[in-house]
Amino acid sequence: MIKLLRKTVSDKIAAGEVVERPLSVVKELMENSIDAGATKIIVDISKGGSEYIRVTDDGSGIPADEAEMAFLRHATSKIENAEDLDALDTLGFRGEALASIAAVSRTELITKTRDSKVGRKLVIEGGMISDNSPQGTPDGTTIVVRDLFYNTPARRKFMRSKASETAAITDLVTNIALAYPSIKIRMISNGNILFSTRGTGDRLDVIITVSGRQSSSRLLAVNAENEEFHLEGYVSGPAESRATRKNQVFFVNGRSVRSKVIEKGLDAAYKERLFEGRHPVAYLFLQVKPDTLDVNIHPTKQEIRFDNDEAVSDFIKDAVKQALMSRDAIPDIDNVRLSDSLYADNISEINYADKKTETHHDDREYKQKIKDILFSNYAGKDDRGEFKKEPATAKQVDVKKLLSDIRAESDHLREQQSEYKAQVEVSKEHRKLDFSAFDIKGVIFGTYILIESVQDEEFYMIDQHAAHERIFFEQLTSRLNNETKISQQIMIPLTFDCKRDNDEWIRPLESFGFEIEEFGQTTFIARAIPEFFDLTQAETFLTDYIDMLDDIRDFESAELKDRLAMRACKSAVKAHDMLKDEEISRLLDDLSKCENPFSCPHGRPTFIKMSRYDIEKLFKRV
């Protein structure tokens, strides 16, 4: 028998599509605040948001006679007809968030519009209104959510730990603060202010606040625009990478998203610049035309669909590559040390707890802060040294005090932020690398070339073998892509075996400069080899190539050409070549012309920069 579900049951089912966890509640409420034109937002949670969530803003508010309607499913001010879905420029639009949240919690709304003399208070438990009365309150909206999933215990049972939820919510609020630098945003957890942005409109200022000085000081500005897209943001240099994508933040039209398309473009920009399994830090903010974007493919709107994936990926790749081609991307000595530090990598996972205004961190104090975050849902220890749980406390909401407390930080903090920002400000006019103005100072250990720029008070150590590999690799790939081959005939042909049913495997070798002929059922000979190989290198290359045939699926792919070029350049470069000054000059000139002069094809840096200040610091002169 088919039955029509009661409203209380259907609302709980619908709520599961939008409200998966406390993080979902905070996301929906913050997006509503932004759509309401808020300039100040406070997010306050307790125990990972499972017990208490409060989001306060100074936005437009909700008219008193529409307060109840705002909690009905599909009640929205954002769209009127189906055509509006094709040109959305708001974060929320379906009208399901408030209804879903109220269905599975004890919810309190306090709101007032600017033209109203008095506000409105609404209390809802499990979707049922228990109070609707006038309330004195400043302009804006406060929504308090208590006891999430109290009436759906099965879902509450599968919630993550309080520490995990705290971290996830903090990451979300951090990302929104990055996307909306003109909004003052304060994050509070268990009574502790984790961070508070100043709303200056400067995105780098927000990055310094939420990410810390150490992370933000090595970022490169990204800024690109064409008729379809506008991209701005910051990325790390090749020497600064992470083991996961946790430090990659993507926004499209102001909405925080997960996007394989943007990841693809970002990875392509760092190709050959990072070791396999390493990922750059990235804060990317993309603007596209609303009618070229579908934001309605996921209940939480965290996934989107572009009309043209390839165009987006290529645009991201080109914009980021442009930033990576500047002199600002050159790794310095501290940069290289930090990139190899597992400790620094691990600390970055929870650096949101760091007090950003401090100029120095004692190691013990820093580790203690980590413990404070991990056990933020506990209050001290008992007599046995065990962490004791913090008692739940009911909070009386004083909206006027909350909004006054979010004023700009103290003059001391402003001065520190401005002073530090001046030190790390990244120029958007990237300087192209050119070694022609450098003086050659010599070679040490038969490997590292020393050059100096008196004008910039910098000197560089260049790994001549890594530089040779980079130059050679780009020359080879250029020949392969342009189908230019230069061969040398050999007096005694090389003989080798290959048990393949067809001869498609020969084409890549011919594009390199080999001349291959059959010499039996499974035997072949090479009568000519590439001009950059000697006989031993050519024979080794052929052997390696035959061994890898089983792994090759497409003999015309660009990926195969890159693999062959990398294998060939590894064979061609000799260690400890003693170079003359004119050979060094030629190498530096060729390196300057490379598309990616910063790393060898395997991801190792080709050179390291040190400034005069870095050296004087080592000798304790500054």
pLDDT, greater one: 402 or 387: 402
Whether residues 220 and 188 fall in one domain: no
The answer to whether position 184 is within a domain reads: yes
Cα gap 206→195, rounded to integer Å: 10
What confidence tens digit (pLDDT) does each residue in 300-327 have?
A: 556 788 989 999 999 999 999 888 877 6
Whether residues 219 and 290 fall in one domain: yes
pLDDT at residue 79, as a whole number = 45
Whether residues 467 and 616 fall in one domain: yes
Whether residues 109 and 191 fall in one domain: yes
What CATH number does residue 222 fall under?
A: 3.30.230.10
Whether residues 136 and 246 fall in one domain: no
pLDDT at residue 602, as a whole number = 75
The number of residues in the chain equals 622
Q: Which range scores top for mean pLDDT: 144-153, 259-268, 333-342?
A: 259-268
pLDDT, average across residues 234-242: 82
Do residues 197 and 185 touch, judged by C-beta distance below 8 A?
Answer: yes
Question: pLDDT tier at 352 (50, 70, 90 boundaries)?
Answer: very low
In sequence order, the 6+-apart residues with CB closer than 8 A to the CB of 230 are 224, 286, 287
Whether residues 181 and 251 fall in one domain: no
3-state helix/strand/coil string of 556-581: CCHHHHHHHHHHHHHHHCCCCCCCCH
Question: pLDDT tier at 573 (50, 70, 90 boundaries)?
Answer: low
Cα gap 121→68, rounded to integer Å: 10
pLDDT, average across residues 351-378: 40
pLDDT, average across residues 585-609: 85
Q: Looking at the DSSP assignment, which residues form a beta bridge with residue 332?
A: 609
pLDDT at residue 324, as a whole number = 85
Question: pLDDT tier at 331 (50, 70, 90 boundaries)?
Answer: low
The answer to whether position 531 is within a domain reads: yes
pLDDT at residue 319, as a whole number = 93
pLDDT, greater one: 436 or 251: 251
* Domain closes at, from 333, 353, 373: 353
The answer to whether position 389 is within a domain reads: no
The answer to whether position 372 is within a domain reads: no
pLDDT at residue 11, as a whole number = 54
Cα gap 5→371, rounded to integer Å: 47
pLDDT at residue 349, as a whole number = 37
Whether residues 478 and 534 fall in one domain: yes
Residue 104 has pLDDT above 60, yes or no: yes
Q: Looking at the DSSP assignment, which residues form a beta bridge with residue 374?
A: none
For residue 399, the SS3 value is helix
Do residues 402 and 56 touch, judged by C-beta distance below 8 A?
Answer: yes
114 is in which domain, residue-wise? 7-196
pLDDT, greater one: 434 or 124: 124
The answer to whether position 413 is within a domain reads: no
**In Å, how far from its chain's centre is CA 206?**
15
What confidence tens digit (pLDDT) does each residue in 453-500 have?
A: 888 888 899 998 888 888 888 877 777 777 667 789 998 899 888 877
Whether residues 506 and 598 fall in one domain: yes
The answer to whether position 396 is within a domain reads: no
Whether residues 510 and 619 fall in one domain: yes
Residue 578 has pLDDT above 50, yes or no: yes
What confidence tens digit (pLDDT) does each residue in 115-171 have?
A: 999 999 999 988 788 889 998 899 999 999 999 988 888 777 777 888 889 989 998
pLDDT at residue 417, as a whole number = 54
Cα gap 311→262, rounded to integer Å: 10
Cα gap 419→414, rounded to integer Å: 8
Instruction: Please provide the average confidence, as pLDDT, over all residues in the chain.
Output: 77
Tokens found for residue 70: 């705002």
Whether residues 217 and 192 fall in one domain: no
Question: pLDDT tier at 621 (50, 70, 90 boundaries)?
Answer: confident
Question: pLDDT tier at 267 (50, 70, 90 boundaries)?
Answer: very high
Closest CA to 433 of 597, 558, 281: 597
Give the dihedral sign, CA 467/469/470/476.
Answer: positive
* Domain closes at, from 353, 376, 407: 353
* Domain closes at, from 196, 226, 256: 196
What CATH number does residue 11 fall under?
A: 3.30.565.10
Question: pLDDT tier at 393 (50, 70, 90 boundaries)?
Answer: very low
pLDDT, greater one: 338 or 189: 189
The answer to whether position 364 is within a domain reads: no
How many domains does the chain fold into?
3
The answer to whether position 360 is within a domain reads: no
Whether residues 461 and 573 fall in one domain: yes
What CATH number does residue 534 fall under?
A: 3.30.1540.20
Whether residues 58 and 148 fall in one domain: yes
pLDDT, average across residues 5-16: 52
Residue 240 has pLDDT above 80, yes or no: no
